[in-house]
């Protein structure tokens, strides 16, 4: 019983020699086997025992498990079935034993055990195990596994039991004399005492519970209380154990059953803040974990039970239901000791792309079906196991396709990242950012309905009764791309709720393509996953879309192609556009195109054959009026009290008069909020909107707290004003006279353009008449050129000397306005 | 631009010119102001150390002093950067102002301060419109700088598509690691003049998504740089502008004594010497002559860089043995800064070249808009036919002189390129005005009197 119990317990992550800080555990020699780790031993336990604290330096070659495909049948076998198989002699007896006695509550770790017995057990085990998981060909992958009526599936977060060696490491020596040896473990605090050192000295390990003297004393002092309420250094709940680093948590990535019937899983470890390189920061929550990219294989038997690890939004709304709820917002890389926030789309899916750098050392025996050429490169440049101790194997450049970017990360999570915006101004700024698009765009309901109808019809009906191409036009800043994205988000949601068939969405931006024909490559890659040159891609796409019967194609999902900045694709013979709009019209092509451009009559400017295909269905986005802009801004600023209502109206009227661009309006308001914030910060008035506490007092000083008309005016001045008048007023005296001579010349000759010679002649004339000292022409030329560099005037290159052509860049009225009453040259007025 | 004149003639010419300028402009021709009470400095080593300290300060290597307006701008940029880093927002800004007014200086100062205040939160990418002339090389440079900064391996063979994919991915990763990426685009107007403005569009477009945390700072000397942007790019650009005005002459003059004073308690400079030096500087700037010189400098160009160049020349002209600045240093610097290159060219020209110039001028006076060497030569010959002189040379020699004039850029070929028909048939244009020719003839040591007469006679003022 004990042997098998130890055997069960020995499937846990491997023990390591104790060291003072948990962070610095390293591979060192293994006390058990005396073998150094990188040797590949046939014992599977050796290869699979790994703790989450070590960087995964020496990864023995193991078969990379295949991703779950559609062909894998989930195996519902429970441990009871295993036992049956064992009885049939197919499995090792250890597995059967493990199956029957394993429950989550009863820890099979024997409390009273002999440490030295471990070695012998293992050598026994070496005899039992005959198969090497590396070589086993029959591995079946499972979706979930049921252990004692608890279902564990991929994506679950679980507690993992550590080995008893780890647990005892911290209390290695006897309590009384400090030496190691045969120790008896206390039930409460798991500290060990020699048999001889107990009080009274025992001859053999007692049956039943045994408490060390300290716990006995504590229990006695708390007479009347039950044993459960023992002081804090005993940790009872799993959460406390985890946070005290006595238990570990992992996330199941894959589950499989070996050929010998053992159930294994691959888990991604979580670490607590104490185990990171920087330790626990003041802003780390009590229940915070970090996800690592450290994967390990372990047996399913080492799982304790499930826990819940959530992202920040879920954690906030969880209400602490259950004790086993943890927050995981960041991913920690133990090799580079960096933190990275987990992005929202990563939270739900598998973060499978951040394998550690050393995973390159594995020789991939099976790779994915659509292997690209870069896989070959990867394999040919891999290092073999054993030479992988170098810290940064430079195999792949970062900026080519499929490059590695795992080094990027923050050394410490900054405290400001955790802070929520406190004051109204900060919340207003956060809400007015261009990136904070709301869930549904106001004032665009009609357009959204049309686009939504087109897209839904494309996906559902399949043959596109509403047409195959949609052309969207409008000036920049009117919400075209945002609306299309919103429609696609809604579609995705309804697909996830299983209301819709599968579809494909490809997004292309005309300005991100290197050249227009590159579109073929991108489209082909999105449809099939193969990266080929554009000519080949064109040929393949043509074949694909002309083929009336979908015989060879894997899926006949309707594909929605979204092209932004369509006018960039116009080439001389317009072939790219023709192809793009011709393919959807072919039967059974299952392609639907949405194109966005700025000009409303783009189809008319193209060849008629394209215009007829493209221009059938159009949606036009008109510039926003001032009411719409006001509504947009107010929607964003809902429940945030930072603006006077007149100020918002003023801003929207100003922007609507100029362009009707929503981005401009939002930027203007954000700038106004910043100006108001700076003004309030410098304001000596008490209670000027700094803390929530003095809100009552602040109501009396209402005007100071909000962004008002003055702030908006200043922001408008900054953003809309042309700077040339100010610069003209501030340039040198000679430059001013130069400008005035140009104005004079323009009035005299009636032509805008003049030559340097004429201007210089008038300059000299002006100077002579007004007692200014004359200037040589070289200096004058340099003055003219410096004015031209600022684009106050337009001039040719200075090497043309007297035949250099000059022209004023601004109307003469501007020059008059700037220079009329200049104190430096008071006589200028009469020449303007 | 000018011909290769021997150094001795150069020095003589400089001395002559100094006198000439001193007479023609308002710099008084006085001797140095050396109050007798100041001690003579006998140790040239002290002076040398002082000069090197002042020179490094004037070149901008050490901490620069800023004018009050520039300090205001510095504060604004610093606040914007802090806001971007702290609140993880995206921003874009343009720094505009005439050349030499301190845009890059202030920006560099702010970057140093920000790196100090928020270590490891910032990643800086610098591009220049003059170096990276098209989108592909600019994007490659961005990828290279990102790789260097994060110690990744960079491959030169990556295509435009790869690099832009890399940029998007890196921006996303940096945003997840709470690192802001700052793009500094020098000569922003040149980026806006690239075809299709792909780089600007891509940068500003990435900043519209939540996945990036970036700041784009454009520096330009063109005041209308934001008008150059295409409408799509303009819409994505937040129209924040910070204007760097040239300072007023008073502000600049107040700054000067600080720029030239030596630190009194420094370890490398002797204290007594430093104090004496500073006292001499104060006296110097109070004197009327120096004020006039400075006025003449600031009349031309008010940008601080011009003033720093001037002071640099002053300091370089300082005599080691004497050990202090003097008025002659200022005058020398003034002369070196305001050179009249065309006058010098004409002064160095040979007689034949002067004849050709005058002939061209006469042709222009006769309303002949275009002329080439053949017609010029004919005019030259007709001059000599009417008044027989000893200066008649054959056509080949004249052609040689003509080519010399072309090299010196006193004349130029009218349509800008040499066609294959031969230099004597190309139409040319005269680049010096009649006023300058007159000055040149007067100052030339070899000009025959008859030439002056011809010139004066034919010129109708």
Q: Could you report the per-residue pLDDT of A534-560, keeping only the tens digit for each?
A: 999 999 999 888 876 655 555 667 889
Radius of gyration in angstroms for the set of CA atoms belonging to chain B, rounded to a whole number:
29
Long-range contacts made by residues A743-751, C-beta under 8 angstroms, separation at least 24? A743/A808, A743/A812, A743/A815, A743/A816, A743/A831, A743/A832, A744/A831, A746/A808, A746/A812, A747/A812
Number of CB atoms found within 10 A of residue B112's CB: 11
**Taking CB atoms and an 8 Å cutoff, what residues of chain B touch A416?**
86
**Taking CB atoms and an 8 Å cutoff, what residues of chain A touch B210?**
435-436
Kind of pairing between the strands at A805-808 and A753-755 = antiparallel
Predicted local distance difference test score (pLDDT) of residue A299:
82
**Taking CB atoms and an 8 Å cutoff, what residues of chain B touch A726?**
243, 245
Considering only CB atoms, A779 lies closest to which of B88, B243, B300, namely B300
CB–CB of A399 and B163 under 8 A? yes
Q: How far apart are CA B140 and CA B132, in angstroms?
A: 9
Q: Which two tokens stand for residue A249?
A: 């948590």
Distance of CA A546 to the CA centre of its chain: 39
CB–CB of A477 and B235 under 8 A? yes
Domains defined along chain A, listed by start: 2-162+247-348 (2.30.30.490), 445-621 (3.40.50.300), 626-720 (no CATH), 724-831 (1.10.10.10)
Predicted local distance difference test score (pLDDT) of residue A191:
67
CB–CB of A730 and B246 under 8 A? yes
Q: Right CATH number for B68-243 from 2.60.40.1840, 3.20.20.70, 1.10.150.120, 3.40.50.300?
A: 3.40.50.300
Of A695-709, B8-22, B173-187, B372-386, where does the model show the most confidence? Answer: B173-187
CB–CB of A719 and B163 under 8 A? no
Residue extents of the structural domains in chain B: 7-63+248-335, 68-243, 343-458
Q: Which two tokens stand for residue A516?
A: 């227009």
Q: Which two tokens stand for residue A204?
A: 């053999």
Interface test with A, best of B174, B200, B433 (most A CBs within 10 A): B433
Q: How far apart are CA A333 and CA A359, in angstroms?
A: 14
What is the band of A345 on the pLDDT scale with cuts at 50, 70, 90?
A: low
Cα distance from B212 to chain A (closest Cα, Å)? 9
Are the C-beta atoms of residues A795 and A745 closer than 8 Å to each other?
Answer: no
What Cα–Cα distance (Å) separates residue A298 from each residue in A162, A262, A303, A354?
11, 10, 9, 20
Tell me the mean pLDDT in the region A300-325: 78
Kind of pairing between the strands at A338-341 and A469-474 = unpaired
Which contiguous run of DSSP H or E holds residue B275? helix B271-286
Q: Which residues of A630-648 are buried (b: 16+ CB within 10 A; e: fewer)?
A: bbbbeebbeebebbbeebb
* Residue A198 clears pLDDT 60, i.e. is over it: yes
Tell me the mean pLDDT in the region A304-326: 78
Q: What is the pLDDT of residues A488-534, one digit of tens each?
A: 999 999 988 887 888 889 999 999 898 999 999 999 999 888 889 99
Predicted local distance difference test score (pLDDT) of residue A302:
80
In this complex, is the C-beta atom of A339 within 8 Å of any C-beta atom belonging to chain B? yes
What is the band of B6 on the pLDDT scale with cuts at 50, 70, 90?
A: low
CB–CB of B99 and A786 under 8 A? yes
Give the SS3 label for residue A437.
coil
Cα distance from A305 to chain B (closest Cα, Å)? 31
Nearest by Cα to A484 from A509, A512, A464, A517: A509
Q: What is the pLDDT of residues A469-485, one digit of tens each?
A: 899 999 998 989 999 99
In this complex, is the C-beta atom of A801 within 8 Å of any C-beta atom belonging to chain B? yes
Considering only CB atoms, A430 lies closest to which of B87, B164, B174, namely B87
Distance of CA A706 to the CA centre of its chain: 35
What Cα–Cα distance (Å) separates residue B443 from each residue in A780, B7, B446?
20, 18, 9
Predicted local distance difference test score (pLDDT) of residue B233:
93
Predicted local distance difference test score (pLDDT) of residue A356:
38
In this complex, is the C-beta atom of A404 within 8 Å of any C-beta atom belonging to chain B? yes
Nearest by Cα to B428 from B437, B436, B419: B419
* Residue A322 clears pLDDT 90, i.e. is over it: no
Q: How far apart are CA B20 and CA B343, in angstroms?
A: 12
Are the C-beta atoms of residues B346 and B354 closer than 8 Å to each other?
Answer: yes
Are the C-beta atoms of residues B222 and B98 closer than 8 Å to each other?
Answer: no
* Residue B67 clears pLDDT 50, i.e. is over it: yes
Long-range contacts made by residues B340-344, C-beta under 8 angstroms, separation at least 24? B340/A776, B340/A778, B340/B17, B341/A778, B341/B1, B341/B2, B342/A777, B342/A778, B342/A801, B342/B410, B342/B431, B342/B432, B342/B436, B342/B440, B343/A776, B343/A778, B343/B436, B343/B439, B343/B440, B343/B443, B344/B2, B344/B13, B344/B17
What Cα–Cα distance (Å) separates residue B444 from each residue in B339, B347, B363, B438, B439?
16, 4, 22, 10, 9
Q: Which residues of A660-690 are buried (b: 16+ CB within 10 A; e: fewer)?
A: bbbbbbbbbbbbbbbbbbebbeeeeeebbbb
CB–CB of B210 and A436 under 8 A? yes
Q: What is the pLDDT of residues A765-797, one digit of tens each?
A: 998 988 888 888 888 999 999 999 999 999 998
Give A298's DSSP letter. E
Q: Which residue has the tokens 């009347």?
A: A224
What is the band of B16 on the pLDDT scale with cuts at 50, 70, 90?
A: low
Interface test with B, best of A399, A663, A774 (most B CBs within 10 A): A399
Query: What chain A residue is nearest to B89 in terms of C-alpha separation?
Result: A433
Predicted local distance difference test score (pLDDT) of residue A99:
37
Nearest 5°: CA angle at B148, between B147 and B149? 95
Q: How far apart are CA B306 and CA B325, in angstroms?
A: 19
CB–CB of B170 and A413 under 8 A? no
Nearest by Cα to A509 from B423, B240, B164, B399: B164
Q: What is the dihedral of CA A457, A462, A464, A470, to 10 degrees?
A: 70
CATH of region B343-458: 1.10.10.10
In this complex, is the C-beta atom of A493 within 8 Å of any C-beta atom belonging to chain B? no
Q: Which two tokens stand for residue A258?
A: 């070996």
Beta strands in B311-420 (DSSP E): 411-413
Task: Give the global pTM.
Answer: 0.75
Give B261's DSSP letter. P
What is the band of B5 on the pLDDT scale with cuts at 50, 70, 90?
A: low
CB–CB of A398 and B147 under 8 A? yes
* Residue B390 clears pLDDT 90, i.e. is over it: no
CB–CB of B211 and A412 under 8 A? no
CB–CB of A435 and B234 under 8 A? no
Lowest mean pLDDT among A98-112, A800-814, B117-131, B165-179: A98-112
* Residue A383 clears pLDDT 50, i.e. is over it: no
Give the SS3 label for residue A270.
strand
Tell me the mean pLDDT in the region A445-455: 91
In this complex, is the C-beta atom of A661 within 8 Å of any C-beta atom belonging to chain B? yes
Considering only CB atoms, B241 lies closest to which of A394, A598, A718, namely A718
* Residue A223 clears pLDDT 80, i.e. is over it: no
Residue A172 or B231, more confident:
B231
CB–CB of B223 and A723 under 8 A? yes
What is the band of B32 on the pLDDT scale with cuts at 50, 70, 90?
A: very low
Q: How far apart are CA B410 and CA B346, in angstroms?
A: 8
Query: What chain A residue is nearest to B410 in terms of C-alpha separation?
Result: A801
């Amino acid at each position: 019983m004990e042997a098998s119990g130890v055997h069960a317990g020995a499937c846990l992550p491997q023990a390591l020699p104790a060291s003072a800080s948990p962070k610095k555990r390293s591979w060192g020699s293994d006390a058990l086997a005396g073998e150094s780790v990188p040797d590949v031993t046939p014992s599977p336990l050796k290869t699979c025992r790994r703790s989450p604290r070590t960087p995964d330096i020496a990864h023995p070659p193991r078969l990379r498990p295949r991703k779950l495909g559609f062909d894998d049948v989930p195996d519902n076998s429970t441990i009871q079935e295993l036992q049956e198989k064992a009885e049939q002699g197919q499995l090792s007896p250890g597995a059967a034993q493990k199956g029957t006695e394993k429950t989550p509550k009863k820890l099979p770790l024997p409390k009273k055990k002999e440490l030295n017995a471990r070695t012998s057990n293992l050598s026994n085990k070496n005899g039992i195990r005959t198969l090497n998981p590396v070589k086993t060909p029959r591995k079946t992958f499972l979706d979930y596994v049921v252990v004692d009526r608890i279902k564990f599936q991929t994506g679950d977060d679980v507690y993992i039991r550590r080995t008893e060696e780890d647990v005892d490491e911290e209390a290695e020596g006897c309590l009384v004399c400090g030496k190691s040896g045969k120790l008896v473990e206390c039930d409460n605090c798991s500290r060990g005492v020699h048999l001889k050192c107990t009080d009274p000295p025992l001859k053999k390990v007692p049956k039943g519970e045994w408490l060390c003297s300290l716990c006995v004393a504590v229990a006695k002092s708390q007479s009347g209380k039950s044993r459960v309420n023992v002081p804090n250094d005993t940790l009872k709940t799993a959460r406390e154990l985890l946070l005290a680093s006595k238990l570990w948590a992992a996330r199941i990535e894959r589950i499989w059953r070996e050929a010998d019937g053992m159930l294994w899983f691959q888990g991604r470890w979580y670490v607590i803040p104490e185990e990171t390189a920087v330790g626990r920061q003041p802003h780390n929550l009590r229940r915070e974990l970090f996800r690592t990219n450290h994967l390990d294989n372990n047996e399913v038997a080492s799982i304790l039970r499930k826990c819940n690890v959530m992202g920040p939004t879920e954690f906030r709304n969880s209400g602490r239901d259950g004790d086993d709820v943890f927050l995981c917002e960041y991913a920690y890389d133990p090799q580079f000791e960096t933190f990275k926030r987990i992005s929202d789309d990563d939270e739900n899916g598998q973060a499978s792309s951040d394998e550690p750098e050393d995973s390159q050392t594995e020789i991939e025996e099976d790779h994915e079906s659509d292997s690209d050429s870069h896989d070959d490169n990867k394999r040919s440049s891999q290092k073999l196991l054993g030479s992988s101790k170098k810290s940064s194997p430079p195999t792949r450049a970062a900026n080519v396709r499929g490059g590695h970017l795992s080094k990027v990360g923050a050394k410490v999570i900054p405290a400001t990242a955790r802070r929520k915006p406190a004051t109204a101004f900060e919340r207003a700024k956060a809400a007015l950012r261009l990136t904070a698009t709301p869930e549904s765009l106001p004032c665009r309901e009609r357009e959204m309905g049309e686009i939504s109808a087109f897209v839904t019809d494309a996906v559902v009906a399949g043959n596109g009764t509403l047409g195959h191409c949609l052309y969207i036009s409008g000036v920049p800043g009117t919400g075209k791309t945002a609306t299309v994205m919103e429609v696609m988000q809604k579609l995705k949601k309804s697909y996830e709720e299983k209301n819709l068939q599968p579809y494909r969405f490809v997004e292309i931006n005309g300005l991100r393509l290197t050249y227009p024909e590159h579109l073929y490559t991108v489209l082909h890659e999105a449809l099939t996953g193969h990266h080929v040159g554009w000519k080949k891609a064109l040929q393949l796409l043509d074949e694909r879309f002309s083929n009336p019967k979908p015989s060879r194609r894997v899926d006949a999902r309707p594909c929605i192609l979204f092209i932004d900045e369509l006018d960039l694709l116009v080439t001389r013979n317009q072939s790219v556009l023709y192809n793009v709009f011709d393919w959807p019209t072919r039967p059974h092509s299952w392609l639907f195109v949405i194109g966005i451009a700025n000009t409303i009559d783009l189809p008319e400017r193209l060849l008629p054959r394209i215009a007829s295909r493209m221009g059938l269905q159009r949606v036009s986005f008109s510039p926003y009026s001032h009411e719409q802009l006001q509504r947009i801004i107010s929607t964003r600023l809902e429940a945030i009290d930072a603006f006077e209502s007149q100020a918002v109206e003023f801003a929207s009227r100003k922007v609507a008069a100029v362009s009707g661009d929503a981005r401009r309006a939002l930027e203007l308001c954000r700038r106004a909020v910043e100006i108001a914030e700076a003004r309030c910060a410098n304001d000596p008035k008490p209670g000027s909107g700094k803390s929530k506490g003095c809100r009552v007092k602040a109501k009396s000083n209402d005007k100071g707290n909000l962004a008002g008309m003055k702030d908006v005016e200043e922001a408008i001045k900054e953003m809309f004003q042309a700077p040339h008048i100010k610069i003209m007023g501030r340039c040198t005296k000679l430059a001013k006279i130069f400008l005035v001579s140009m104005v004079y010349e323009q009035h005299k000759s009636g032509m805008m353009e003049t030559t340097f010679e004429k201007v210089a002649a008038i300059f000299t004339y002006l100077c002579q008449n007004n007692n200014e000292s004359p200037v040589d022409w070289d200096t004058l030329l340099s003055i003219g050129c410096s004015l031209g560099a600022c684009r106050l005037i337009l001039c040719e290159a200075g090497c043309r000397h007297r035949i250099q052509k000059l022209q004023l860049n601004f109307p003469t009225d501007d020059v008059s306005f700037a220079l009329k009453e200049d104190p430096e040259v008071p006589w200028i007025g009469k020449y303007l | 631009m000018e011909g290769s004149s021997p150094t001795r003639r150069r020095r003589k010419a400089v001395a002559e010119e100094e006198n000439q300028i001193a007479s023609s402009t308002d710099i008084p021709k006085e001797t140095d102001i050396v109050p007798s009470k100041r001690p003579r400095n006998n140790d040239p080593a002290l002076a040398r150390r002082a000069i090197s300290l002042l020179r490094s300060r004037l070149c901008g290597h050490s901490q620069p002093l800023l004018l009050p307006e520039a300090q205001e701008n510095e504060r604004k940029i610093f606040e914007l950067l802090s806001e971007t880093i702290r609140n993880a927002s995206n921003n874009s800004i343009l720094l505009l102002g005439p050349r030499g007014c301190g845009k890059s200086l202030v920006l560099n100062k702010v970057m140093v301060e920000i790196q100090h205040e928020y270590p490891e939160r910032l990643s800086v990418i610098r591009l220049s419109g003059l170096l990276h002339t098209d989108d592909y090389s600019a994007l490659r440079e961005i990828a290279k700088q990102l790789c260097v900064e994060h110690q990744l391996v960079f491959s030169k063979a990556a295509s435009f598509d790869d690099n832009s994919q890399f940029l998007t991915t890196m921006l996303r990763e940096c945003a997840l690691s709470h690192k802001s990426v700052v793009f500094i685009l020098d000569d922003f107007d040149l980026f806006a003049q690239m075809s299709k403005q792909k780089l600007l569009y891509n940068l500003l477009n990435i900043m519209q998504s939540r996945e990036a945390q970036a700041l784009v700072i454009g520096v330009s000397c063109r005041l209308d740089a934001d008008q150059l942007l295409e409408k799509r790019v303009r819409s994505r650009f937040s129209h924040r502008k910070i204007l760097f005005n040239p300072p007023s002459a008073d502000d600049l003059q107040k700054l000067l004594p600080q720029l030239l004073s030596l630190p009194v308690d420094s370890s490398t400079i002797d204290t007594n010497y430093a104090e004496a030096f500073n006292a001499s500087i104060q006296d110097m700037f109070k004197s009327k002559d120096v004020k006039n010189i400075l006025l003449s400098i600031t009349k031309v160009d008010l940008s601080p860089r011009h003033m720093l160049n001037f002071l640099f020349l002053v300091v370089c002209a300082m005599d080691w043995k004497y050990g202090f600045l003097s008025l002659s240093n200022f005058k020398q610097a003034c002369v070196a800064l305001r050179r009249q290159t065309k006058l010098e060219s004409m002064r160095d020209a040979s007689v034949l070249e002067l004849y050709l110039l005058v002939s061209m001028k006469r042709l222009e006076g006769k309303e002949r808009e275009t002329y080439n060497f053949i017609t010029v030569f004919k005019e030259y010959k007709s001059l000599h036919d009417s008044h027989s002189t000893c200066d008649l040379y054959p056509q080949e020699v004249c052609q040689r002189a003509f080519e010399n004039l072309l090299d010196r850029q006193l004349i130029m070929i009218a349509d800008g390129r040499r066609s294959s028909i031969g230099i004597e048939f190309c139409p040319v244009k005269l680049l010096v005005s009649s006023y300058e020719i007159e000055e040149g003839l007067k100052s030339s040591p070899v000009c025959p009197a008859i030439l002056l007469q011809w010139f004066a006679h034919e010129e109708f003022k």
